[in-house]
Amino acid sequence: MRLATTLLLTALTAAAADDPWVLYPNKGQTTRDQLKLYLNNLGKKYLKDRAQGISAIRTQAEAIERQKLVREKLLRLMGGLPTQKGPLNVQHVGAEERDGYRYEKIIYESLPNFYVPANVYLPTRGQGPFPAVLMPVGHSPEGKEGERVTAIGLARKGFVVLKYDPIGQGERLQYYDPDLRTSKVGATTQEHSHANGHAVLIGDNVARYRVWDGMRGIDYLLTRPDVDPKRIGVTGCSGGGTITTYIAALDTRVQAAAPACYITSWEQLLDNLGPQDGEQSLAHFLTEDLDIADYIELFAPKPYLIASTINDFFPLEGARQSYDEARRFYKLFAAEDRIGWFIGPGPHGVPLQSREAIYTFFIKHLANGNGDPREEVVRLDPLEKILCTKTGQVADSLGGETVFSLNRKRAGGFNRKVTPQDLPKEVRRLAGIQVPPNGPPPPITVHRTERRDTYELQLVSLLMNGGVPVTGALMVPTAAGPHRAAVIVDSRSKQMTASTGSDADMLARDGYLVLTIQPRGTPEIPVDRPQDLVGDFALAFQSYLVGKSLTGFRAEDVTRSVDYLLSRSDVQKHGVTAIGNGSGGVYVLHAATLDSRINKVITQQSPALLRLGVERPIHRHIYEVAVPGMLAKYDLDDLIRAIAPRKVTVVNPVDLLDRPLHASEYRKMVAAPAEVLLRSRRERLPVSE
């Protein structure tokens, strides 16, 4: 998913070079590139401050205090873990005997009616109780099918191994379409990040469910008489390496951990991959003084093996950085010999050499050194043999809960009681807005001019805080001023928003001085992603990592645009009309909540409510408007109430799939003092005084 979007953006950047409406790239950088660079530099500043704090830890007592602090932070950023353990209600649905091992097919409930299909690989040689290994899997579309060779290898060497389907994979598609027999939202990464969109809105992360599934898997292992409860390990590759890292850090029952092809550092991620799946990136992670090495250090002094490959896309240099830091941390416990780093050959994955290194590690630390780490030849059963449900999907064989339904219930417990007076403070805090109104006007550059009938069109860029530009079109009436002023926020191309017959054009012909902007991080040539429901996850989460949000940045762009407009001598000083199209409606509502100089707000084809993201299972591009944790404090109708008595007009509202809502439907769901209009594209915007 990330690669396809990157290639498309690269192609569009190349095509933009000769487009007179495109003002950037500037020295090869698009406006999105420049926002990403700004966020990278901000993230690295937090990482530098963290490194200084880690280097100051000199004693074991200080290290233990750091572990307590890190654990509290990780749990808080995930949204905590469920507080009650219900019965596992294990269903045994079959078993198969093979050479040197057998496997059982089970289904357990990690939460009530939240079903987890799993395979248990068992030794057929030796006498139990055996050590056990939990195996979260990577992003295999078939879930527990992934890395089966490792599970079989461990079972043949005397380990009980539990492999289970993560959400969004194998038999646990969260958005399953029984007619198409596939996911409604896309592949595994889209399933994870789409589900995370529900959780982000209430301040959680989908990792809380991923970790809980694994912890309940350990609960199951401990119910088996053939498992030694004091010898529990965990290993997994890629996305499974992520969950291995999390579970080892948070579940004290784990005695040895070996994540593969995940461990790196955020310094290296920022310069290379950027944020990955929803569960692999926690909002505020960097502002909370955290890095990936903290997961390893939380496990000290227990045995830990980092498994990498020489050509992995998770940067190898980052693995070295985390290993070096964690080894110094382990030394404070006199346990530096308990942390190791193995580098296997080839690309991302677990090649034979890495598998045998993992066997060696677990034999040493969980089996008293008794065993041969060399791998025997493995013949895998066909996929249908390992399935646990009758249809191959929980959704149409068992039903039950999904992340969406669990999150909806959790969100239902919130009772937003923020007063209109306190709301601006919460908006600033949650959205990461730091730019106050009434600042100096941003520097503006005019790149090209064009004379039209009653006004001059100027293609401009405004330099926002952090040195990141916003591009737009300025329409200055030729008649003498002062003029009424309007700012229009629209992610569509300037050629479209400033064309003859557009809203901006009609306002300029009515005597308004109009500034229409493409807010920060918006591609100058919009990327057509009709099948991509997730949207710009990477840039949004890069903002979340450092306590920001795309909504916060873009609300600041509105405020700075008002600063510019009101600084002009040909603009009336009584206030500015702010108009937001599409997601721009969310940005102008946030800006107007904080800026009383915006005396009128119009949203057009904009989301009605963001709580639709927890009330309905499917949403589109939610990360481009979502503020982490906002629904615990406010929604868009709360912003409208806070803006009152200034006028808010809602034109052609939509749901979170961009589907139109009838005016009566909108009024029923939104009890806010807004005028609601249904308008055809040929009608003028309702901006009359």
Residue 18's pLDDT is what? 61
Could you tell me if residue 417 is inside a domain? no
- d(CA 154, CA 150) in angstroms, rounded, equals 6
Least confident of 302-316, 399-413, 429-443, 663-677: 663-677
How do residues 517-533 score in pLDDT, each as one tens digit?
999 999 887 666 556 79
Three-state DSSP state, 174: coil
For 296-316, how does the pLDDT look when each residue is reduced to its tens digit (9 = 90+)? 999 999 999 999 999 999 999
Residue that is last in its domain, among 410, 445, 479 = 410
pTM of the model: 0.94
Q: How far is residue 599's CA from residue 265's CA, in Å, rounded to a whole number?
A: 46
Label each residue of 372-420 as H, E or C: CCCCCCCCCCCHHHHCCCCCCCHHHHCCCCCHHHHHHHHHCCCCCCCCC
Pairing, β 114-123 against β 160-164 = antiparallel
Residue 451: pLDDT band (50, 70, 90) is: very high
Per-residue pLDDT tens digits for 114-129: 999 999 999 999 999 9
Q: Which residues pair with 632 in a beta bridge?
A: none
CA dihedral 200, 206, 209, 213 (to 10 degrees): 180
Extract long-range pairs of 352-360: CB within 8 Å, 24+ residues apart.
Answer: 354/260, 354/307, 354/309, 355/149, 355/150, 355/153, 357/305, 357/307, 358/150, 358/235, 358/258, 358/260, 358/305, 358/307, 359/153, 359/154, 359/157
Q: How far does Cα 323 stand from its chain's mean position?
A: 26
**Does residue 424 have a cis peptide bond before it, meaning omega lies within 30 degrees of 0?**
no
Question: Which residues are registered as beta bridge partners of 459?
Answer: 448, 473
Question: Shortest CA distance to 309 belongs to which of 246, 277, 263?
Answer: 263
Asked if 304 and 343 sit in the same domain, the reply is yes
Q: What is the pLDDT of residues 242-253, one digit of tens each?
A: 999 999 999 999
Same domain, residue pair 640 and 570: yes
Give residues with Cβ within 8 angstroms of 548, minimum separation 6.
Answer: 39, 42, 431, 432
Q: Does position 509 have pLDDT exceeding 60, yes or no?
A: yes
397 and 431 together in one domain: no
For 629, residues 6+ apart whose C-beta sits below 8 A from its C-beta are 200, 201, 202, 203, 283, 430
Q: Is 248 left (phi over 0), alpha (psi -120 to 50) or beta?
A: alpha
Same domain? For 125 and 247 the reply is yes
Place of tokens 């951990």: 257
Strands (E), 136-293: 160-164, 176-177, 182-183, 227-237, 256-260
pLDDT at residue number 204: 97
- On whether residue 274 sits in a domain, the answer given is yes
Is 598 in contact with 578 (CB distance < 8 Å)? yes
SS (H, E, C) 407-474: HHHHHCCCCCCCCCCCHHHHHHHHHCCCCCCCCCCCCEEEEEEEECCCEEEEEEEEECCCCCEEEEEE
157, pLDDT greater than 80: yes
Distances in Å between the Cα of 547 and the Cα atoms of 46, 287, 671 are 11, 6, 30
Among candidate residues 131, 119, 121, the one with its CA nearest the CA of residue 164: 119
pLDDT at position 682 over 80: no
Mean pLDDT for 498-516 is 95
Residue given tokens 């959205």 in the structure block: 431
Main-chain phi, psi angles of 363, to 5 degrees: -60, -40
Q: Band the pLDDT of 343: cuts 50, 70, 90.
A: very high
Name the maximum alpha-carbon separation found in the chain. 94
Residue that finishes a domain, picked among 382, 410, 438: 410
The rounded distance, in Å, linking the Cα atoms of 101 and 498 is: 69
Are 428 and 362 contained in the same domain?
no
Distance CA 413, CA 417 (A): 13
- Provide φ and ψ at 446, rounded to 5°: -95, 120
> Can you give the pLDDT at residue 685?
84
Structural tokens at position 398: 């068992």
For the segment 278-296, the average pLDDT, to the nearest whole number, is 97
pLDDT at 392: 97
pLDDT, residue 687, reads 81
Instruction: Report angle CA 609, 615, 620 to the nearest 5 degrees.
Output: 65
The order of strands in the sheet holding 469-477 is 444-451, 455-463, 469-477, 513-518, 483-489, 571-581, 598-604, 647-651, 675-677
375 and 485 in a single domain? The answer is no
Decide which of 410, 441, 465 is a domain's last residue. 410
Quick one: tokens of 446? Answer: 């005019």
Q: Is residue 166 part of a domain?
A: yes
Rounded to the nearest 10 degrees, the angle between the axes of helix 239-250 and helix 60-78 is 120
Whether residue 439 is found in the same domain as residue 405: no
Per the structure, the complete domain to which residue 158 belongs is given by 66-410
pLDDT at 603: 97
State the Cα–Cα distance between residues 362 and 352, nearest whole angstrom.
15
- In whole angstroms, give the CA distance from residue 542 to residue 561: 24
Which amino acid, one-letter code, is at 444? I
Residues 101 and 233 in one domain: yes
Relative to beta strand 91-98, strand 339-347 is: unpaired
Same domain, 339 and 397: yes
- Work out the pLDDT band at 27, boundaries 50, 70, 90: low
CA distances from 566 to 290, 436, 440 (A): 42, 15, 10
**DSSP code for 16:** G
Note whether residue 672 is domain-resident.
Answer: yes
Six-digit token pair at 622? 């939610």
Residue reference for tokens 């040493």: 364
The answer to whether residue 617 is domain-embedded is yes
What count of other Cβ atoms lies within 10 Å of the Cβ of residue 16? 18
Alpha carbons within 13 A on the beta-carbon side of 463: 8
Using CA atoms, how far apart are residues 289 and 54, in angstroms rounded to an integer?
Answer: 10
* Phi, psi angle pair for 576, to nearest 5°: -125, 140
Q: Is residue 348 part of a domain?
A: yes
Residues 437 and 377 in one domain: no
pLDDT tier at 3 (50, 70, 90 boundaries)?
A: very low
Q: What total of structural domains would you count in the chain? A: 2
CATH number assigned to the domain comprising residue 640 = 3.40.50.1820
112 CB-side CA count, 13 A: 4
Neighbouring-strand partners of residue 446: 460
Looking at the fold, whether 333 and 383 belong to one and the same domain comes out as yes
Q: In the 8-state DSSP scheme, what is residue 39? A: H
* Residues 83 and 217 occupy one common structural domain: yes
Percent of the chain with pLDDT over 70: 95
pLDDT beyond 70 at 280: yes
- Residue 444's Cβ-count burial label (10 Å; 0-12, 13-18, 19+) is middle
Does residue 21 belong to any structural domain of this protein? no
Hey, CA dihedral for 581, 585, 588, 592, is it positive or negative?
A: positive
State yes or no: cis peptide before 301, omega within 30 of 0: yes
Determine the pLDDT at residue 19: 76
Does 418 map to a domain?
no
Look over the chain and give the mean of its residue pLDDT values, rounded to a whole number.
93
3-state secondary structure of 349: coil
Cis? peptide before 166, omega within 30° of 0? no
